Amino acid sequence: MKLELASGKITAVSHPPPGVNGDQRPQISPDGRKMAFFRNVKGGATRLVQDLETGQTTKLNALHGYGEDEAWLDNETLLVSGGGMAGAKLWLYPLNGKPRQLLVNPLPLGQIARGPQGFFATEIGQARMLLATPPEQDGGKPVVLQDSNGVTMFPDYSVDGRLAYSHVGPGGHWEIWLQPPGQTPRQLTAMAANYLLGLTWSPDGSKLAFYAGIGDKRGLYVLNADGTGLTLVKPLVSAGTPAWSADGRTLLYPAKDEGGWRLWRVALAAPDQAPPISDYGWFSVRTSGNAIYGFGTRESGVWRLDGKPRFITNLQRRCTDAFLECMSWFVKGDTLVFADYSDRAHPRLVQHDVTTGNRRIVATPGLSYSDLATLDPISGKLTYVYDGASDSDIALFHVDRK
């Protein structure tokens, strides 16, 4: 939008077509004649430049890797940050020419602000999302279980207390780590996954299942507990965290087709046969023994779906797609665990008994936006993803032509 300061008049500058989530982050060229911005679409964002006099919009080619932000170097060139943790980079992007890599940075680069005489400021982040256990008493500090850089996600305990989780460091690739009770964690895989969603133990603790992108393949994978036997069970473009059947022979999972999100079933011995097991509107599924639980648009709540469907509780989340926070809940035995943000300044985890409805509230300072947590079957203690150790700085740099 454009606001005229003298009159207060507001007019639309960009005109996103139907089906687009919206336009964001406008950057005006030094001469005031062009506007660079991002158009958000499902699955990513498109980089555009609009002529403010004619209204003509030009789509710029995507850069390799993740694009974070941009600023005008001059009237015909953008300076673009990108890469995330997979090799953060600065690019020179001329509107009429090929992008050129300007530098590689060891830490992720964020937003860029253009200053005078070729100076720029940029955010430099040190992501540290780590596992922690809740404080012993309200007002205390959580016990952080790791001392590393990067992001840890999707923790899950096996039946015998082994903790598995995924971790991405400055290299930008996801790997699975394993920590037996009382031992030091070790890296279990060397698969260099582009991303990984969900990680769950089989009932007997012999296998792990997850959704990942490895190389040019995306889908449901299964891995032996010793790190061997990585297998792509079901190629899928859009899917969520899988869950195991009680006998460990079948995976249940949410996936999206032309009609939307629903739940499906695939037997490890017959991966070509994967029938749907629900109607549309279900974004995530969990199992506990023979019990099957699902979460979706129906009352925004968790339901037990095996046998006659039975409503368990409302998670107070408005989900229209399988976002991570819509998948971040689990059931262990008779205990449903989910995040409570009714007091945004003091996030908590709720342990809800699916049989009696009784609840226990646990304070979890620094609970990450992902709501991810797991429950140790040996000690009964919660472990969750803690987002209180990250840090960021502002760096100043100068760009000159020679």
Q: Which helix (H) or strand (E) holds 325?
A: helix 324-327
In this structure, are residues 240 and 322 in contact, taking their beta carbons and an 8 Å threshold? yes
Question: Does 394 reside within a domain?
Answer: no
Question: Does 401 reside within a domain?
Answer: no
The CA distance from 334 to 354, in Å, is 5
Does residue 105 sit in the same domain as residue 200? no
Mean pLDDT of 335-364: 90
Q: CB-based contacts of 284: which residues, under 8 Å, 6+ apart?
A: 240, 241, 254, 294, 295, 296, 322, 326, 327, 329
Question: Does 186 reside within a domain?
Answer: yes
Reading the block at residue 206, the tokens are 């012999």
Does residue 80 sit in the same domain as residue 163? no
Residue 99: how many CA atoms within 13 Å on its side-chain side?
A: 19
Does residue 294 sit in the same domain as residue 368? yes
Mean pLDDT of 58-81: 83
Question: Does 356 reside within a domain?
Answer: yes
Question: Does 392 reside within a domain?
Answer: no
Domain count for the chain: 2
Does residue 7 sit in the same domain as residue 135? no
Question: Does 372 reside within a domain?
Answer: yes
Does residue 57 sit in the same domain as residue 194? no
The CA distance from 115 to 397, in Å, is 10
Question: Does 402 reside within a domain?
Answer: no
Does residue 265 sit in the same domain as residue 156? yes
Nearest by Cα to 338 from 379, 370, 310, 311? 370
Q: Residue 132, SS3?
A: strand
Last residue of a domain, one of 76, 102, 125: 125
Q: How crowded is residue 166: how many other Cβ atoms within 10 Å of its Cβ?
A: 25
Last residue of a domain, one of 76, 108, 125: 125
Q: CB-based contacts of 36: which residues, under 8 Å, 6+ apart?
A: 26, 27, 29, 47, 48, 49, 50, 70, 72, 78
Q: How far is the CA of 70 from the CAs of 104, 111, 116, 361, 395, in angstroms?
A: 16, 7, 16, 43, 15
Does residue 310 sit in the same domain as residue 352? yes
Mean pLDDT of 308-323: 81
Q: Give the residues across from 114 on adjacent strands.
A: 120
Last residue of a domain, one of 94, 125, 156: 125
Mean pLDDT of the chain: 90
Q: Among 38-42, 108-112, 168-172, 381-385, name the one with the lowest average pLDDT.
A: 168-172
For residue range 193-248, list pLDDT tens digits in order: 988 988 999 999 999 999 999 999 999 999 999 999 999 999 998 899 999 999 99
Does residue 158 sit in the same domain as residue 105? no
> Residue 68 pLDDT > 80, yes or no?
no
The domain of 346 spans 128-386
pLDDT of residue 189: 96
Angle at 154 between CA 332 and CA 297, to 5 degrees: 70
pLDDT of residue 322: 63
Does residue 188 sit in the same domain as residue 111? no
Does residue 45 sit in the same domain as residue 157? no
In this structure, are residues 162 and 179 in contact, taking their beta carbons and an 8 Å threshold? yes
pLDDT of residue 62: 72
In this structure, are residues 317 and 325 in contact, taking their beta carbons and an 8 Å threshold? yes
DSSP, res 276: B
Q: Among 86-95, 290-299, 305-314, name the one with the lowest average pLDDT.
A: 86-95
CATH, residue 24: 2.120.10.30
pLDDT of residue 278: 93
> Residue 65 pLDDT > 60, yes or no?
no
Write down the pTM of the prediction. 0.77
pLDDT of residue 127: 75
